Amino acid sequence: MSQIPKEPTALGHDIRLELYKLQLELRYCEKRAYDLFLQNLIKGTSHLSLGQEAIAAAFGVAMRPDDWTFCTYRGHAHTLARGASMEGVLGELMGRQCGLLGGKGGSMHLTDVAKGAMGSYAIIGAHLPVAAGAAWSAQYRGTEQVAVCFFGDGTTNIGAFHEALNFAVIWKLPVVYVCENNLYMEYTPIGSVTAVEHPAADRAAAYGLEKVVVDGNDADAVYGTALKYLERARKGGGPALIECMTYRHSGHSRADPGQYRPPGELDRWLERDPIKIYRERLLGLGIVEATLADLESESLRKVDAATETARASPVPDISEIDKNVWADGSTAWRN
């Protein structure tokens, strides 16, 4: 088993502040999404990454700008972490014209191709082979791009997970699979429905891959792991499967208060909140309180501004319904 150091690695302050800032933005934006739901300004459903931000942030900082992200319906954070505009994300959640997808995709399908965010996939497992295909394209064209594919622990029990891993290994594809093990598949403890303790990492051996488990609430640990396996994939070393241990602070989706969780569990994990532990680490490393407070208020202002932009944006034009099924922009199925 690969031992990924949990202690702070020798990162520069600039990287650490970038990691902190990105985690803050993801946290505040997710909280804002929740608030906007309560105000009925966001309809439908949403799956928040509250508590899991360190993973998206660490990969976001570690990835090359032309690398590709494939994520799930719990993908606001991963999309933002690649640099997608916050008003584009919030606007999409609110069904506004300024949304990343013009209101056609919604919370579960956030995509920003220009930033390498190649889609959020709402059918469990579907995007694992898709990420392998992008990696195949990079390998074929010799571009040294890497596809990073995020998914939850529940995904490890669907067929596409196994098909994709085998496929990626036999073709030695530059793809990094990242399981965010937040301990629950929807409403059910993952341990109660899975044959092994670590749903992703314990299956790695079946595909000739190294077992990699990392503290997903420690941005430094995830960042170090990400760099290592991104680089290896980029240089032709093939795929990796990384299991990040984490916890979601909220329920599975908007409709879920998470009452199935045993008493005290959430509190224990709140003690290990990635942003809390990162803040403490930065203070311990001598970064002054004022610097952190500035980052915090700056991030909040950014979320506020994005919220106002999205709220001010009109609903999509009705003509959008009949656009963009086909590459010629039309929806025509007959002549």
Partner 1 sequence: MAELTYREAVAAGIAQEMRRDDSVVFLGEDIGAAGGVFKATVGLFEEFGPRRIRDTPISEQAILGAAMGAAMTGLKPIAEIMFSDFLAVCWDLVANEIAKTRYMTDGQITLPLVIRTANGAGSRFGAQHSQSVENWAMAIPGIKVVAPAFPADAKGLIAAAVRDPDPVLVFEQKSLYAFKGEVPDGEHVDQIGKARVLRQGKDCTIVALALMVHRALEAAEILEKEHGISCTVVDVRSLVPLDTVTILAEVAKTGRLVTIEENPRLCGWGAEIASIVADEIFWDLDGPIIRITTPHIPLPSADFLEDNTIPSVERVVREIREKID
Q: Per CB under 8 A, which region of 19-27, 192-200, 222-230, 320-328 contacts partner 1?
A: 320-328
**Torsion sign, CA atoms 327, 107, 125, 174:** positive
Measured CA to CA, the distance from residue 331 to residue 321 in angstroms comes to 9
- On whether the CB atoms of residues 48 and 36 are closer than 8 A, the answer is no
Looking at 127, 203, 248, 279, which residue binds partner 1 (CB under 8 A)? 127
Measured CA to CA, the distance from residue 310 to residue 87 in angstroms comes to 5
At 90, which amino acid appears?
L
Q: Build a one-symbol-per-residue string for 157-186: x at contacts with partner 1 by CB under 8 A, - elsewhere.
A: --xx--xx-xx--xx---------------
**H or E element at residue 81:** helix 76-81
Provide the minimum distance between the beta carbon of 204 and partner 1 in the complex, in angstroms, as a whole number.
Answer: 17
Our CA angle for 238, 158, 169, nearest 5°, is 15
Looking at 20, 68, 73, 177, which residue binds partner 1 (CB under 8 A)? 68
Q: Which is nearer to partner 1, 101 or 179 (CB)?
A: 101
- On whether the CB atoms of residues 150 and 68 are closer than 8 A, the answer is no
13-38 and 219-234 helices, crossing angle to 10°: 110
Q: Which is nearer to partner 1, 31 or 323 (CB)?
A: 323
Q: Which is nearer to partner 1, 34 or 136 (CB)?
A: 136
Q: Which is nearer to partner 1, 137 or 253 (CB)?
A: 137
Footprint on this chain of partner 1 (rule: CB under 8 A): 68, 70, 101-102, 104-105, 109, 111-113, 118-119, 121, 123, 125-138, 140-141, 145, 147, 159-160, 163-164, 166-167, 170-171, 320, 323-329, 331-335
